[in-house]
A and B are shown apart, each in its own frame.
Chain A
Amino acid sequence: DAGVTQSPTHLIKTRGQQVTLRCSPKSGHDTVSWYQQALGQGPQFIFQYYEEEERQRGNFPDRFSGHQFPNYSSELNVNALLLGDSALYLCASRSGRGAFSYNEQFFGPGTRLTVL
């Protein structure tokens, strides 16, 4: 089992550009969440996808958008990059099944985005 995988590992962009980050969930998982972790901070929730729809969103502007594909993999897109978007972007997956319990989220290793 490969666990949650993310690509690329590192990325350098300039202000104003657009970026796409990719995530493949752990086998058997259908729910994907994205987090932004600035240097020296805890992760902050961006949004969550289930059944190819955005189900919940954190306090992030519309420049942050996403997509989930039929195979449950997901993309995070950030438009009009700002210096403040420099961070580690974490993807997490879990099984959405089980209405009355919470299934553990597994995190990927992250993508380090640097905006110059």
Chain B
Amino acid sequence: AQTVTQSQPEMSVQEAETVTLSCTYDTSENNYYLFWYKQPPSRQMILVIRQEAYKQQNATENRFSVNFQKAAKSFSLKISDSQLGDTAMYFCAVLQGGSEKLVFGKGMKLTVNP
């Protein structure tokens, strides 16, 4: 069974600073995908960034980047130049290749302060 652990329940950061959200996961498969989703108070889950396990290069999307350590089963998200609109719950998730079942962590509440 796949599991995802987000050990930090809550973090806060000042606007324009950089923050890193941690995530560890467990899966027995070699073919899988990793995701970070953002859920603002509006409740809509939005994909922030994805990483295919077979790719060694860390994914980057504008201010968002990941540090994917496959051997350690670690998948952290770095948010640079934090903005007020980044305030949200952030969920790490893993998807086994060929499966439809996204397995989520418990989430982490990020607050960006002005």
Contact = CB atoms under 8 A, between A and B. Distances in A.
A38 B79 CA distance: 27
* Chain B contact patch, size range: 20 to 34
B106 A107 contact: no
A58 B2 CA distance: 12
A31 B44 contact: no
A109 B47 contact: no
Interface of B: 4, 33, 37, 42-47, 50, 91, 93, 95, 97, 99-107
B45 A43 contact: yes
Given A88-B43, A90-B45, A102-B33, A42 B100 contact: no
13 contacts: A35-B102, A42-B104, A42-B106, A43-B104, A45-B102, A48-B100, A48-B101, A56-B101, A58-B101, A102-B97, A104-B47, A109-B43, A110-B43
B49 to A, nearest CB: 11
